[in-house]
Structure 1
Amino acid sequence: MASNQFILASPPTDAISALKFSPDPNSTRIAVSSWDKNVYIYELRDENGNVGEGKLIQKFEHRAPVLDVCFGATEDEIYTAGLDWDVRKIDVATSSQTVLSSHEAGVRSVVYSKEHQLVVSASWDSTLHVHRIDAPGSIPSIIPLPSKPFSMSLTATKLVIAMASRALHIYDLKALSLLTAQLDGTTPNKVEVEPWQRRESSLKFMTRCVACMPDDAGYASSSIEGRVAVEWFDPSAESQARKYAFKCHRQTADDVDVVYPVNTLSFHPVHGTFASGGGDGVVALWDGIAKRRIRQYQKYPSSVAAVDFSSNGKYLAIAVSPGFEDGKEDMVEGAVSIYVRELGETEAKGKGAK
C-alpha cells in the first residue's frame, strides 16, 4: 500500500513548537503547540470513522508562546509549557486550565510518565519541576540543572535531558518518584538529585532534539549541524562501543554542502525505527540498528519543525513552518501546515525486520 498524505485544516497562524499524538492506540487525536500562544487539538477521524483531512476540535489560548505540549493519562488530559513560565494542565472535556507550577523563566519541555504518574518540566531557569499527578495540589520538587535544557524525552524507566554545553543527564524515574513521594508536597522542595548517568553529547554542536527508544534501550539526539547520534543506556564498554553518529539533512547547492539543523526526532512505537525532520524541509526514516536510511520523503515547502508517530504506528504527523534557515521574519499566511501520512504496512520497518 502506498502512503496517503493529507493536510490538516485550520493550522496554527505562527511557527509550530511541538506536535504529539494521543497515547491511546485507537485514537487519532493530535495536540499541537504554537508560537501564536495557542494549543490546538485535532481529530483525524470524521463522523463516519474515516481518517481524512481532520478537523480542529479545540483551541486553548495562553498568555505567551507555547513551547511544548504532551498528553497525560488520557487523550482528554494535556500538559503545556511556554514563555509565560507556567506548566499547565488542561482538561480537554471541560476546557479548564490549571497552573501546576511556575518557573523563573520560559519552560522549554514537558513530559508525562504514565508508569510513575509524574509530569516533569524543564525550564531555561536551569531547573526541573517534578509534579506528582496522584497528589493534586502538591508543590513540585525542584531539581537544579547544570545548564539550560534544550530537549527532554522519557521511557518507562529513564528521563533524558539534553542541555547547553553538550551536557546530557539521564535520571532514573523510579528514584525521582520515590524522592517526591518522601517529600511532604506542601513546601517548596529544592533538592539536589544525582543523575543515574551524566554524559557529554557525541555531537560537536548544540543539541536540538533528544528522543528515547520505545524499547527503553537508549536514545537518539540531533544537532544544529546536520547530524544524529544513536546511543544506548547500558554503561558497559561493549554497549557503549555500539554508539555512533551520522551526517544527514544536507543539500548540495552550487557544489557547496549546505548543512541544516535536525530539528526533530521520533521513534516508531512498533518497529523501533525513527524519523528525523530538518531545516531542509526533508523527513527521513532511519533504521538505527542496521545504520541505514530506509526512505526519504519529498521535500516540504519549508523547515520541518516537529514529527510524531501515532501510538499504533499507522500514521506519521509532520509539522512544517518556516525556521531561521528560511530567512523569513514575518509568517506568511499558509506557511504553517501539518501533514499526516498514512503509512504502508512495511513503510517504517527496518531493513533486518522480519
Structure 2
Amino acid sequence: MRVLVTGGAGYIGSHTVVQLVAAGHQPVVVDSFVNSRPSVIARLEELTGEQIETHSFDLRDADKTSALFAEGGFDAVIHFAGLKAVGESSQIPLEYYDNNLGTTFSLMRAMEHHGVRRLVFSSSATVYGETETVPMPEDLPTSATNPYGWTKVMQEQILRDVAATGAAQVALLRYFNPVGAHPSGRIGEDPQGVPNNLMPFIAQVAVGRRERLQVFGDDYPTPDGTPLRDYIHVEDLAAGHVAALQYLDAHPDVAVREWNLGTGHGTSVLEMIAAFEAGSGREVPYDVVSRRPGDLAAVYADPSRAETELGWRAERTIEQMCADTWRWQSGNPQGYPG
C-alpha cells in the first residue's frame, strides 16, 4: 500500500516508516518539522535503502493538504502529526486545540474528498484520564486531565463519528510509554528542549547533557514507592501500526476499533534507572522530590485485544529498551544535527 505518514519525521513516525518499507509498503512523509529535524529523512533513506518522498508543510493548510491527496494516490493514512507535551498543553491550550484538532479536520476532509478510507490514528493512554483500574482495558470510559489528553479524546470521537457515516475505517491505537530506539542507533527520540518523559531525561543525564534526574515521589503504594508505568519499545509500537493497517485492509467491514499497545507490565522509575545504569555503564544521579499533581501510582495496559485481533505482542525487554536508547543517545549526544 501507498501510505501517507503524517508526522513521519517524528519519533514514532520515523520508526514506523522503516517498518512500513520492510513490510513492502510505500510510505510518504508529510511533516511540518516543528518538533522534528529534516535530517531524519536522510537517515530513513539510509536504513531502508529507499528514497522517502517527503512533503514539508502544516496539515492545517487545507489547500496544500488537498493538493497532496489529489496527486498522492494514497491507499491509507497513519496520523501521528500533533503537539504532544502534556505540561506545555496546559500553558498554551488554544495552540494545542487548534493544532491537533485542525490537522485532523483538514486531513479527514481531504481523505473524504479523495476517497481514502483507511486511517490508523496515534491516540494515547491519556484518554483513560485518572482511572485507577489496572490493567487498563479498551472499554474503560474516556476522559482527560490536561488539554493534550482532551485533544486525543476529542479526535477519537471525531473519527468515530466520521467512521459511522461509512466515509472512513479507523484504527485507534492507544499506547502507553514509548521508549527505545532503532537498533542501528541511527534514529531515536530527540525531544526539543527539556524532555517531558523519563527515558530521554535519563539518557541525557547519562550522556552528560543534564546534571541530575528528578524522581517525583517515592511514597506511592508500589513495591519501591515510585510510580509504575508501561514502557513499550518504539520498535514494537511501530509494528503495532503496521499490524493495524493490515487489519483494516483485511476487514473492510470494520468501521472503527480501539487497541491498547503496551506490554501489560508496570516498571517503576527506580527499576528503569537501575536498568539504564546496567545497560549503559553510566551512573544516573537523581533526587527524589515531591509528587507531581495528578500522577497515578500505576498505569499499564491490558494488551490482550491487540494480541488476539492483530496478532501483535510487545516482545522487547526493558533491558533492550535501555540498550537501544543508550546506543542512540551515546552516538548522538546532541540529538539529530540541525
Q: TM-score, normalised by structure 1?
A: 0.31
Of Structure 1 and Structure 2, the greater strand share is in 1
Q: TM-score, normalised by structure 2?
A: 0.32
Of Structure 1 and Structure 2, the greater helix share is in 2
